[in-house]
Structure 1
Amino acid sequence: MKIDFVEKPLMRALWRRRLGREYYILKRKVGNVFGRTRWASKRPTKAMFHPIKEHSSMILRPLKDVEMYLQENKRTNLQLAIKHLNGIVIRPGETFSVWQKVGRPTASKGYLEGLVLHQGQVTKGIGGGLCQLGNLLFWIFAHTPLRITERHRHSFDVFPDVNRNVPFGAGATLSYNYIDLRVYNPTEKTYLIELWTDETHLHGRISADIPQQETYRIEERDHRVVTQYWGGYTRHNRIVQVITHPDGSEEERLLVENHAIMMYNPMLTPPANAQFETCSGTNS
């Protein structure tokens, strides 16, 4: 079993973080404009679409030391963002990007202060809470042959598991615009994304113009908690796609690996089914 060594996180100066952020935002904008990517978009289509996967996640989740108005604001932020994404069609050879469609979430566009995680700390930021959208989209994409070309993991595991119904790390963090979620359509099918909210949940569904013959299930492998040499705890796992073909044969594909610094004591609230290991400071 591989034991994962993770460096103790460094807190960089505020000016350095801000300048670095704007540099990467500009770099991504230039790449979007001058690159050759064919972007998915909202286009009229007469095709009949066949549902593949639907998923819902609770918007108002009580979290320790998090004021509920930030969760209410998250609902507004999600509603604003999904207006740009609901109804997008991903045709063969096209790429879907969250930020390429949503744009920069600003107060002038109606976005509110929401929950933002920075360096493992809970704070506030305009447009906060959109990671819930990234998590939902990742989950429904994972049940299709769409190829996830960009996905960023959460670097910190901030809250203990509460009513978790998907594996740890089976999601995607978002931060405008260089921390994005992108998928490419390598198939001959056309896919439709549908997103909506109600009083309690964010909902999403992905469909295709040709019925999907294979079935997909998402499973976790090698879930473990590691005690690091510097005294902290880290959480690790792999998320795999198990594909069942029409003839009954199965194949397994690695989707993502996760390595997160835990911001709570796992001895008090241990993650379910996790193995506990100790790291001396080197990989083995």
Structure 2
Amino acid sequence: MKPIKRSKLRIKLGTAYYRSRRYVEWYFGGTRFAQKQSSTVLPYKVASHKTPLLRKLKDVDMWLQHNKIINLKIAMKRLNGIIIQPGETFSYWKLIGNPNRRKGYVEGMVLFYGGFKPGIGGGLCQLSNLLYWITLHTPLQITERHRHSYDVFPDSGRSQPFGSGATCAYNYLDLRITNPTDRPYQLTLQITDEFLIGSWNSVVPQELTYEVYEKEHRITQEHWGGHMRHNLLYRRVWNQQEELIDDQYITENHALMMYQPFLKSENEVNEQQEQA
């Protein structure tokens, strides 16, 4: 699990190779990709969630997060209203396209080998994280998702289990969602002053209820000196009679921690100071 540092040339050549493979698969593969957008929202909300747009992160300039909002608004135009018909697959990057300056994207925060740096289109992982989370609360099937390799920032007000997001990198680290049901699902997205909001809608009410939770969360010290964070994600499924009908394995996560384990949160530190 020890991270491998690669040269800039190796990274550039590797990126070109994997992007080329993805282009070939897009245009010559047999996948039926979702393409239709509609401004008419399907009547029944199936799952929804919102995440804060601005967070105070250690050593991260706030202008990167303000620029992230610009990037999110551009990307959302390509995704908002997308309908996945039965048998179709939603591809995050095939719909958004390459986030470059020509399309209006600006520099936002990009995670890079356990750190961060400014990068064109930075911040779009917030959108892929949100999509992954709401999809876990639907009958839709996630057919491609990539976990974050690094745990960069300590938990601060985390309301979801560790590892419940989906990293993205154009175009070879994609998020793909397939519709195995007999009904269409539509994605709706919006940005307020404070939140990024997403939901899946359909033509009938939700028949099942889902709860995503973690098992076996642990932190290990590796022989080479670093710390790794691990867990398993599962989800419980209830029917309309509130009977538990399934307990499904989702995925496992392993991430290199880029901060000292067992740090106290800011609230815990403040409480200790008040009690002293």
Shorter-chain TM-score tier: over 0.9
Distance 2:255 2:246 in 1: 27
Among candidates 263, 267, 276, match of residue 262 of structure 2: 267
Deviation for aligned residue 1:19: 1.0
Partner of 1:258: 253
Could you tell me which amino acid in structure 2 is paired with residue 260 of structure 1? A
The CA distance in 2 between the partners of 1:162 and 1:225, in whole Å, is 17
Which residue does 1:280 correspond to in 2?
none
Distance 1:29 1:171 in 2: 25
Aligned counterpart in structure 2 of residue 194 of structure 1, from 181, 188, 198 = 188
Structure 1: which amino acid aligns with 2:244?
S
Asked if residue 168 in structure 1 is aligned to residue 170 in structure 2, the reply is: no
> Are 1:18 and 2:12 an aligned pair?
yes
1:221 alignment counterpart: 215
CA RMSD of aligned residues (A): 1.4
Instruction: Pick from 179, 182, 187 the counterpart of residue 176 of structure 2.
Output: 182
Q: 1:60 to 1:45 in 2, by over 3 A?
A: closer
Aligned residue runs from structure 1 range 115-154, under 5 A: 115-154=109-148
Q: Secondary structure at the match of 1:194?
A: strand
Q: CA deviation at 1:22?
A: 1.2
Partner residue of 1:245 out of 239, 244, 257: 239
1:156 aligns with 2:150: yes
Q: Which runs of 5+ in 2 are unaligned?
A: 266-276
Query: How much has 1:213 moved relative to structure 2?
Result: 1.1
Alpha-carbon offset, residue 269 of structure 1? 3.9
Contact in 2 for aligned 1:8/1:230 (Cα 8 Å):
yes
CA contact (8 A) 2:37 2:80 kept: no
User: What does the per-residue CA deviation read over 1:216-257, in whole Å, with 9 as the maximum and x for residues that have no partner?
Assistant: 111111111111111110000111121112341321111111
Question: Using the alignment, how far apart are the partners of 1:145 and 1:163 within structure 2?
Answer: 28
2:45 equivalent to 1:54 = no
Amino acid in the other structure paired with 1:167: P
C-alpha change, 1:45 and 1:84, in structure 2 (3 Å) is closer
- Aligned with 1:30: secondary structure? helix
For 2:122 and 2:177, the matched residues in 1 are separated by 23
Unaligned runs of 5+ in 1: 1-6, 271-284
1:191, distance to aligned residue in structure 2 (A): 0.3
Residue deviations 1:169-195 (CA, integer Å, cap 9, x gap): 111001000101001111112101001
Q: Which amino acid aligns with 1:194?
A: T
Other structure's SS at 2:58 match: coil
Alpha-carbon distance, 1:44 to partner:
4.7
Moved over 6 A (4+): none
- For 1:41 and 1:132, locate their aligned partners in 2 and report how far apart those are by CA, in whole Å: 22
Deviations 1:106-151 (A, max 9, x none): 0111101110111101111100010000110001100011111000
**SS at structure 1 position matched to 2:246:** strand
Identity fraction in percent: 48
How far apart are 1:164 and its partner, in Å?
A: 0.6
2:42–2:201 Cα contact (<8 Å) kept: no
Q: Deviations over 1:249-277 (max 9, x none)?
A: 3211111110000000113348xxxxxxx
TM-score computed with the length of structure 1 as normaliser: 0.90
1:36 offset after TM fit, Å? 1.1
Distance 1:88 1:82 in 2: 10
- How many angstroms apart in 2 are the aligned matches of 1:239 and 1:12? 30
- What amino acid is the match of 2:31? T
- Higher share in helix: 2
Q: Secondary structure at the match of 1:83?
A: helix
The CA distance in 1 between the partners of 2:13 and 2:98, in whole Å, is: 17
Counterpart code for 1:253: Q
Distance across 1 between alignment mates of 2:2 and 2:42: 51
